[in-house]
Amino acid sequence: MKDVANQSRSIIPKCYFLSFILSLSFLIFLSLKSTILMNKPITGPTVNDDVSGSTIVIRSGYTSYDNYIQHQLRKTNNPKLRKIWTTRDWDRKIRVFTQFFMDLKHKNLLSNSSKALCVGARVGQEVEALKRVGVWDSIGLDLVPYPPLVIQGDFHSQPFDKETFDFEFSNVFDHALYPKKFVGEIQRTLKAGGICVLHVAVSRRSDKYSANDLFSLEPLIKLFNGSELIYSRKVDGFGLDTEIVFRKKNTIQWL
């Protein structure tokens, strides 16, 4: 009986030890799984499935197009943000955009005679900057108008005739729910030989109002199938890190 009791006492610590090891292993497994999920890229329907390893990803969660529009309007109509855009950020952004546009003028991609459109201009700092460098025939387009610099419109369906503009600029490509339509409207409304300049972030975006995430320039270049790539370069554009410039071809293959 004493031997049996001794054996029982020796088994109990082993059971506790085994239980501890199994519990610890399970906790480590859960931790690793959580880390993997946290670092997993945002999933959703991809654009340009014919591009190997497509690197434009549409964010999920929109139940309808109206739902997407209302989500964007919550940012554009936010009174605190609009106050910041028109006060604290106003001069700073105009100063930076003025430098961007002067550089484009020096490269002969923009001139005083250009008819220019800023797509997704919010309160129109970009438009004001264009006027300050001498491009007077400039207007902005956004869901919420800001007269006289910005008129109301949806960049998925621009309210302009084809071949209206010599120059189009946008830094809101990441807000496009339908990147193909976004690009298609730019190419439709640009004149033959017209210039499009985009500022984009080639990285995962943290902005909760972004509708897509861009991880490479290749699929974006492919979307501009009626234009030629002039150049791309690194910039510091208020969270956007890349400037990419296209010229519309004289003969365009419509998207």
Question: What confidence tens digit (pLDDT) does each residue in 45-90 have?
Answer: 444 433 334 578 998 888 899 999 999 999 999 999 999 999 999 9
| 6-31 confidence digits (pLDDT tens) | 444 554 445 454 455 545 454 444 34
**Contact between 110 and 195 (Cβ < 8 Å):** yes
Integer angstrom CA distances of residue 13 from 4, 113, 116: 15, 87, 79
Q: Give me the residues paired with residue 168 across strands.
A: 117, 196
Q: What DSSP designation does 234 have?
A: E
pTM more than 0.85: no
Interatomic CA distance for residues 202 and 217, integer angstroms: 7
**Contact between 224 and 187 (Cβ < 8 Å):** yes
User: Position of tokens 């439709």?
Assistant: 188
- For residue 6, with 0-12 CB atoms within 10 Å meaning exposed, 13-18 middle and 19 or more buried, which class applies? exposed
**Contact between 252 and 224 (Cβ < 8 Å):** no
